Structures are given as C-alpha cells and as structure tokens.
Amino acid sequence: MTSAPDTADLQAEMAALRAFSAAVGSDPSLTQAAGGNTSIKDGDTLWIKASGTWLAHALERDIMVPVEMMPLLAAVEADDPAAEQAHRFTIAARNPSGLRPSIETTVHALMRQRVVAHVHCVDTIALAVRTDAVAELGQRLDSFNWAYVPYHRPGLPLAKGIALHRAQRPDVLILGNHGLVVAAESVAEAEALLRTVKQRLRQDARPTPPADTERLSQLAAGGYRLPTSDAAHAVALDPTATKIAAGGSLYPDHVIFLGVGSAVAQPGETPADVQSRIESAPASILFPGLGVLMREDASAGADAMARCLADVTTRIPKGAPLRYLSEDENHELTNWDAEKYRQKLDAAAAKR
C-alpha cells in the first residue's frame, strides 16, 4: 500500500506525469504508437494510461484511468483470470471517458514505487531479444537494482513473472522480448532513471544507404505505399537486419500491428507476387536493397512498428543469438481479446 499524497502534491505530480508521458510518447526510440504506459499511485488508487491511447497525446487528451489496486493485486496473487481484465477494477465514478486501463496494469500495480514507466525502448529490445541477454545486460546495469523477466505474454502470465522479483523491489525491469520498466518515488526521479538506463543500454544503429523510393513507388501501385517514416526502410537496406526480420517475430507489438513475422520479397517480386506466394496481404513488405512498402490501409500503429523493426534490427550485431516468439506465443497474442480491443482502437484512430 502506498500512502496518499496531499491534493496539491498529487495534482503537481499528475501534471508532471502528463508532461513526462508526452515526451516519452513523442520519442520513437522509447515508445511507438499506442505502446508503452505510465502510472502513478494515489494511496490504493492506480492512475494508468488507457489501453489503445498514445502517450504522445497525454497533454491534449485525458488518457489516464483510475484502478482499484488492492483487489487487482489480490487477483494476481490468487492466479484469478480476472486480473487479465483490468477494466473490471476501474473506478467508474472517476472514469468518465469509459476507457479501459492498459493491458500492462498489473505490471504497474506490482511495482512498489509510486511512479512507473513501461517503454518499448529500441536499445533495450535489441538486447532483450538475445538468448545471452542476462550476461549482456549485467555488464551495463551492474550498479542498478535490476531484474530480468523472461518472456511471458502480457497480462497475468507477465504479472506472475514479475511477482517473483517483488521482494527485491527492483527499480529497473528488463522484460525479455518486450521492453523496459523503470520505477521511482517521483516523476522527476523516474524520468532521470529512464534517461540513465537508456544511455547505459545504448547501441548505435548501423548506417544504411538511402531507399530507392522511385522504384518503390513504381512497385507500390496496386494497394501499397511508402512508409510515413524514411527510417523504416533501414530494415530492408541492411542485410543483417533483413535476415533478422525474416527469422520471425521478436516482440509482441510487432505481432499486434504488423502480423506474425515479416514478409520479404524475393528478387524481382512485386507486392502482388508476394501476396500470392504467402497467401495474404501483409501490412508491410521488405524489398531487400530497395526499402519497405506499407499496405495502403495500414494504420498509424503499423507505420510506427515498421520503423521500430528497423530501429531494433539495425542495432542487433551480426551473429547475435536471438530468441524469436514461438508459434504458440504468436498465436496467443493474435487471439487475445485484450489485444483485439487495442487493435480496434488503433484502426478507429487511423480513420480520424
């Protein structure tokens, strides 16, 4: 239980949290689209970002949802499936928007500190997808109170994995094949900790040549377009990155917004050829040596994740041992109601 701050202090911290959230949400190296979330505890109430909303919008929209923390924690401890449905613990009278709390609400509730930030930092992910992640991270985080949590599906499975480290009261969590969590007693401390950890985990992306946008534009006729960010092309312009992407799915949000794995065109193929060969219309297609094309109706979330794929894969060294999500892990993400809700919100936002 966290002691309740006075009203003025809470209002000041909430304002600081909104500013912090907007800054994190506007940095694609930390957060992409509706991914990532922040929270603050007010006694037994947990204020957390709503599922499907963007941290980048924190200063212009009401994206925080109040949740009763103690019943939620009791559900986690009892291994109650209700813990997967955080919206059942919202305080309706203080939630006029009717939005659902983040899929990751249990992560924030389990952290004992007052302020928590969960981000999909590309530098972190580039390490967290490796089978030797613990050894690599240990060299960089030796002075921190940190813990590594192997991959679990977001929701109750991930909560149970984090709960194993609760007595340690870590300030930093590295989530295998997923991302980074930092926790502190104030927004300012959480912001400083995030900045320091990100610097410790920094890996420079390999430089790539420019994309052949003229050729890509020719190929795009018939249902595809260029990505919104030129940075997204890098995954197809760096042979190591292309090979890594072709190997499968590395983290959950890729599966949710781009689908399982990556579609890589063979020499001379058009988007129609790729679709015919794999019997689907992928959200993105990698054309080695040329760049990337996005399906015309791809959402803003898909575009953000296309850039994330490039940012992550160009930071992974050639020959690094990798852990891809299994077929079962991909399946449980694509068939999970909580993620279907987030996809629905993303699709609706794309039409505005």
pLDDT tens per residue, range 20-37: 999 999 999 999 999 999
Residue 352 counted as domain residue: no
Across the range 105-132, mean pLDDT stands at: 98
| Whether 11 and 138 share a structural domain | yes
pLDDT tens per residue, range 146-163: 999 999 999 999 999 999
Residue 83 counted as domain residue: yes
| Whether 94 and 194 share a structural domain | yes
| Whether 294 and 329 share a structural domain | yes
- Does the pTM surpass 0.85? The reply is yes
pLDDT the model gives residue 165: 97
CA angle at 108 for the pair 106 and 113, rounded to the nearest 5°? 140
pLDDT the model gives residue 69: 97
pLDDT the model gives residue 221: 87
Residue 207 counted as domain residue: no
Judged against a pLDDT cut of 50, whether residue 91 lies above it is answered with: yes
pLDDT the model gives residue 351: 43
pLDDT the model gives residue 335: 84
Which residues share a beta bridge with 173? 147, 181
Across the range 132-149, mean pLDDT stands at: 97
Last residue of a domain, one of 157, 175, 200: 200
pLDDT the model gives residue 22: 98
CB atoms near residue 132 (< 10 Å) = 12
Supply the mean pLDDT for the chain.
Answer: 94
CA separation (Å) from 119 to 27, 138, 194, 217, 283? 10, 20, 9, 33, 23
Judged against a pLDDT cut of 70, whether residue 345 lies above it is answered with: no
pLDDT tens per residue, range 217-251: 999 987 999 999 999 999 999 999 999 999 999 99
Residue 224 counted as domain residue: yes
The number of distinct structural domains making up the chain is 2
| Whether 184 and 220 share a structural domain | no
| Whether 147 and 219 share a structural domain | no
Last residue of a domain, one of 173, 200, 227: 200
Residue 339 counted as domain residue: yes
pLDDT the model gives residue 32: 96
Residue 348 counted as domain residue: no
Confidence grade of residue 324 (pLDDT, cut at 50, 70, 90):
very high
| Whether 248 and 136 share a structural domain | no
Residue 248 counted as domain residue: yes
**Domain limits at 98?**
7-200
pLDDT the model gives residue 336: 67
| Whether 50 and 144 share a structural domain | yes
Going 174 to 180 to 185 to 188, the CA torsion angle's sign is: positive
Judged against a pLDDT cut of 60, whether residue 346 lies above it is answered with: no
Which residues share a beta bridge with 293? 285
pLDDT tens per residue, range 196-215: 999 999 999 999 999 999 99
| Whether 185 and 295 share a structural domain | no
* Residue 214 phi, psi (nearest 5): -65, -50
| Whether 190 and 95 share a structural domain | yes
Token code pair at residue 166: 């609760």
| Whether 103 and 182 share a structural domain | yes
Last residue of a domain, one of 176, 200, 224: 200
| Whether 137 and 224 share a structural domain | no
The candidate with the shortest Cα–Cα distance to 262, out of 227, 220, 292, is: 292
Which residues make Cβ contacts (< 8 Å) with residue 323, sequence separation at least 6?
129, 130, 131, 151, 176, 177
Residue 94 counted as domain residue: yes
pLDDT the model gives residue 350: 43
| Whether 43 and 186 share a structural domain | yes
CATH number at residue 187: 3.40.225.10
CB atoms near residue 209 (< 10 Å) = 11
Across the range 264-273, mean pLDDT stands at: 97
Share of the chain above pLDDT 90, in %: 90
Token code pair at residue 48: 């957390």
